[in-house]
Amino acid sequence: MKLQELFIQNPWWEDETKIELDRHILNFKNSSFKWEPSVLNEMNLHDEGIYTLRGPRQIGKTTILKLLMYKLIKEENLPPQRILYLSLDNVSSKEELIDILISFSKFRRRTFPNGLLYIFLDEITMVHDWQYAIKYLWDIGILTNCFVLLTGSSAHDIQKSKERFPGRKGSGKDLVLYPATFSEFVETIKNARFQKYRLQEIIGLTEDEIKNIEFETSSVYDDFQLYMLTGGFPLIIDEFLKTGGNSERTLGIFRDVFLGEIERFGKRRVTLLQITKKLPEIMGRRISWQALKRSVDEVESIHTVIEYVETLALNYMIGIIFFLDINSKFIKPKKSKKLYSIDSIITRVMENITGKEIPPGFKVENVVYCHLVKLHPIESGLIHTEGPYFWYSDRGKEVDFIAGEEYTPIEVKYQNRIIPQDYQTMKRVFKKGILITKQTFLKDGNIVGLPLHSFLAIADFERNIEG
């Protein structure tokens, strides 16, 4: 990469006001959904460290980088020459990446021998074996006294990065930027905030506390109906708030994200299309790989089916949750799985591709899944070997989700009338649980029932993340 291209990507080196004219900054300022996700709080901008930020394409990772740079330049008066932004679309190898970062560090250290340098590398996964480059640069001291943030749209190499960053120093963490939760949605559009409860704390709520939650969360019921339509991708929300819908062009962007990413990993779009045609029929239902293979004649083997669905999961498109043995607390990979999408826009894309509608009940269940994923580790993307889970008995009785450190059972019954039989399995097998309803609040021993909008407003889905 020529030096001239570095200046093109970093125009604030010559004129710091250029950060205000950056496309992502302008789009954020003009957006009707100015979301500042909680993941920002996980980064210490004033300490050295190597951070990775993963998440699906179009979720706003580049915007996060630019907002952090804007904060450093405009709010903290940091000399912009101490900041490097680099989109890695045109970096061909780890050797080229090493050369660029060594050159930047040596040149800037002449002017700024002390203090942090800031290195923002966008779509690091475009560079094959990038982990070797970053580890090498750390080992030889080039990244000492640097804040480094690497973004990527896949979890294919997270395990590699952990293996190659042994004893990583500083404040670095591996983070994921998920779509905005309902709580973040209402906080952003109307500054509505609610007291938060961990899942186990929800089970312990008193009847008086439940009545108070009913009163307070009634103000966001209509907002939840909107959230069910938009989901949590900023681009979708912004356009919907401005126009009352989403254009074919915008839906096409997400269709390309869903289908196009598969080709980066040596897979065929036509094969993915064949598998996708079946997905609306099985979302949220128990399914085996064998059964999915039998229903897709054009796919030659079970191995192919698994590879394609797991690639979607590693790209933060489709989640795979497993049966949990409640005695051993281990999953049973050979038993049935369930599939969910990471956001309602991905659900809409699947419906658009196939012409098949996913039943409303499963869409509601999917929204619950989209929130529970934040409580669990990220090493395998959306292949949820460490939760959330689900459970079913030999007789077919099922609990939709088991989530959180306390293995809290959660059952979704989005219906007008609730009777004790609706939560009988949770009560009999687990002796506790959260029942997600349409409009019913209830307390029956260690069973607490909350309408979905209330549950999503008050549940704490943040997970403590270690470096």
Same domain as 170, residue 206? no
pLDDT of residue 467: 47
CA-based R_g, the chain, Å: 23
- Six-digit token string for 167: 């004893």
User: Do 211 and 157 share a structural domain?
Assistant: no
Residue 209 resides in a domain:
yes
Return the pLDDT at 161.
57
What are the start-end ranges of the H helices in 323-391? 344-354, 360-372
Q: Is 415 exposed, middle or buried (0-12, 13-18, 19+ CB in 10 A)?
A: middle
CATH of residue 15's domain is 3.40.50.300
Q: Same domain, yes or no, for 191 and 142? A: no
Same domain, yes or no: 115 and 202 = no
- Asked, for residue 464, whether it belongs to a domain, the answer is no
Quote the DSSP letter at residue 75: I
pLDDT for the residue numbered 297: 81
State whether 299 and 318 are in the same domain: yes
Reply yes or no on whether the pLDDT at 465 is more than 90: no
The pLDDT of residue 164 is above 60: no
Pair 253, 293 in one domain: yes
Q: Are residues 264 and 392 in the same domain?
A: yes
Domain boundary among 140, 157, 176: 176
Domain boundary among 142, 176, 210: 176
Answer yes or no: is 467 within a domain.
no
pTM: 0.94
Instruction: Look at the chain and report how many structural domains it folds into.
Output: 2
End-to-end CA distance of the chain: 32
Which one is predicted more confidently, 125 or 249?
249
413 forms bridges with which residues in the sheet?
A: 437
Instruction: Among 161, 176, 191, identify where a domain stops.
Output: 176
* Integer angstrom CA distances of residue 237 from 66, 135, 161, 233, 247: 20, 38, 33, 6, 12
Amino acid type, 452: L
Residue 169 pLDDT > 60: no
Q: For residue 14, what are the domain limits? A: 3-176
Per-residue pLDDT tens digits for 130-156 = 999 999 999 999 999 999 999 999 988
SS3 133: helix
* Residues 340 and 419 occupy one common structural domain: yes
Q: Are residues 130 and 15 in the same domain?
A: yes
Q: What is the pLDDT of residues 411-442, one digit of tens each?
A: 999 999 999 999 999 999 999 999 999 999 99
Write down the mean pLDDT value for the chain.
94
Per residue in 100-112, pLDDT (tens digit) is: 999 999 999 999 9
CA distance 174 to 153: 13
CB of 91 closer than 8 Å to CB of 57: no
Question: What is the crossing angle of helices 360-372 and 221-230, to 10°?
Answer: 90
- State percent of the chain over pLDDT 90: 88
Residue 270 lies in a domain: yes
Question: Does one domain contain both 200 and 316?
Answer: yes
Report residue 147 as tokens: 């804040």
Query: What pLDDT shows up at residue 165?
Result: 58
Look at residue 380 in the predicted model and tell me its pLDDT.
84
